[in-house]
Structure 1
Amino acid sequence: MDKKKNRIGRWTPANVIFNIVNYGILTFLTLICLYPMLHVLFASVSNPTDLIAHRGLLLKPLGFTMSGYKLVFKDDSLLVGFKNTFLYVGLGTAVNMLFTIMGAYALSRRELLLKKAVMVIITITMFFGGGLIPWFLVMKQVGLYNNVWAMVLPTALNTWNMIILRTGFQSFPYDLEEAAVIDGASQSKILMNVILPLSKPVLAVIFLYYLVGNWNSWFNAMVLLKDRARYPLQLLLKEILVMNDVSMSSVGSAGGVSVNSVQGATAYRELVKYCVTVIVTLPILCVYPFLQKYFVKGVFVGSIKG
Structure 2
Amino acid sequence: MEPTRAKKKMSTFDIVTYIVLGILALITFYPFYNVIIISFAKFDVISKSDLYWLPQSFDFSAYKVVLSDTKFWSSFLVTILVTIGGVIFSMVISVAGAYALSKKGMPGRNAVLTLILFTMFFNGGLIPFYLVVKEVGLINNILVMIIPAGINTMYLIIMKNYFSTIPDGLEESAKLDGANDMYILLKIIIPISMPFMATFGLFYAVERWNEWWHALIFISDADKAPLQIYLRNILITASSSLNSIAMTMAEQKNLTKVYTPSLQMASIVISCLPIMLVYPFLQKHFAKGVLVGSMKE
**TM-score, reference length from structure 2:** 0.90
CA contact (8 A) 1:48 1:270 kept: no
In structure 2, what is the equivalent of residue 25 of structure 1?
A: 20
In structure 2, what is the equivalent of residue 35 of structure 1?
A: 30
In structure 2, what is the equivalent of residue 246 of structure 1?
A: 242
In structure 2, what is the equivalent of residue 81 of structure 1?
A: 75
In structure 2, what is the equivalent of residue 3 of structure 1?
A: none
Cα distance per residue 1:174-219 (max 9 Å; x no partner): 1111111112111011111221122223212211211111111101
CA contact (8 A) 1:84 1:232 kept: yes
In structure 1, what is the equivalent of residue 270 of structure 2?
A: 279
User: How far apart are residue 166 of structure 1 and its match?
Assistant: 0.7
User: How far apart are residue 17 of structure 1 and its match?
Assistant: 3.8
In structure 1, what is the equivalent of residue 90 of structure 2?
A: 96
Cα distance per residue 1:224-255 (max 9 Å; x no partner): 11111100010111111134473734432367
Q: How far apart, in 2, do the equivalents of 1:16 and 1:38 lie?
A: 32
Match of 1:290 among 272, 277, 281: 281
Structure 2: tracts of 5 or more residues without a match: none
Cα distance per residue 1:140-192 (max 9 Å; x no partner): 11101111211111111111111111111111111111111112111011111
Q: How far apart, in 2, do the equivalents of 1:204 and 1:113 lie?
A: 30
User: How far apart are residue 135 of structure 1 and its match?
Assistant: 0.5
Match of 2:182 among 188, 199, 216: 188
Map 1:142-291 → 2, pairs under 5 A: 142-244=136-238, 246=242, 248-252=244-248, 253=250, 256=254, 259=257, 268-291=259-282
CA contact (8 A) 2:39 2:62 kept: yes
Q: How far apart, in 1, do the equivalents of 2:189 and 2:51 lie?
A: 51
Task: Tell me which amino acid in the other structure corresponds to 1:268.
Answer: Y
Find out whether 1:305 has 2:292 as its counterpart: no
CA contact (8 A) 1:85 1:233 kept: yes
Cα 1:86–1:247, aligned 2, differ >3 Å: closer, same or farther? farther
Task: Tell me which amino acid in the other structure corresponds to 1:38.
Answer: Y
- % of aligned pairs identical? 37
Cα 1:74–1:257, aligned 2, differ >3 Å: closer, same or farther? closer
For the residue of structure 2 that corresponds to 1:48, the secondary structure is coil
User: How far apart are residue 28 of structure 1 and its match?
Assistant: 2.3
Task: Tell me which amino acid in the other structure corresponds to 1:156.
Answer: G
Cα 1:184–1:107, aligned 2, differ >3 Å: closer, same or farther? same
CA contact (8 A) 1:251 1:269 kept: no
User: How far apart are residue 286 of structure 1 and its match?
Assistant: 0.4
Cα 1:271–1:17, aligned 2, differ >3 Å: closer, same or farther? same
For the residue of structure 2 that corresponds to 1:274, the secondary structure is helix
In structure 2, what is the equivalent of residue 4 of structure 1?
A: none
Map 1:59-78 → 2, pairs under 5 A: 59-78=53-72
For the residue of structure 2 that corresponds to 1:154, the secondary structure is coil
Q: How far apart, in 2, do the equivalents of 1:93 and 1:195 lie?
A: 19
Cα distance per residue 1:246-274 (max 9 Å; x no partner): 37344323674564xxxxxxx62221101
Q: How far apart, in 2, do the equivalents of 1:29 and 1:143 lie?
A: 48
User: How far apart are residue 55 of structure 1 and its match?
Assistant: 2.3
Cα distance per residue 1:271-294 (max 9 Å; x no partner): 110100000111111011111100
Q: How far apart, in 1, do the equivalents of 2:267 and 2:293 lie?
A: 35
Task: Tell me which amino acid in the other structure corresponds to 2:262.
Answer: L
For the residue of structure 2 that corresponds to 1:126, the secondary structure is helix
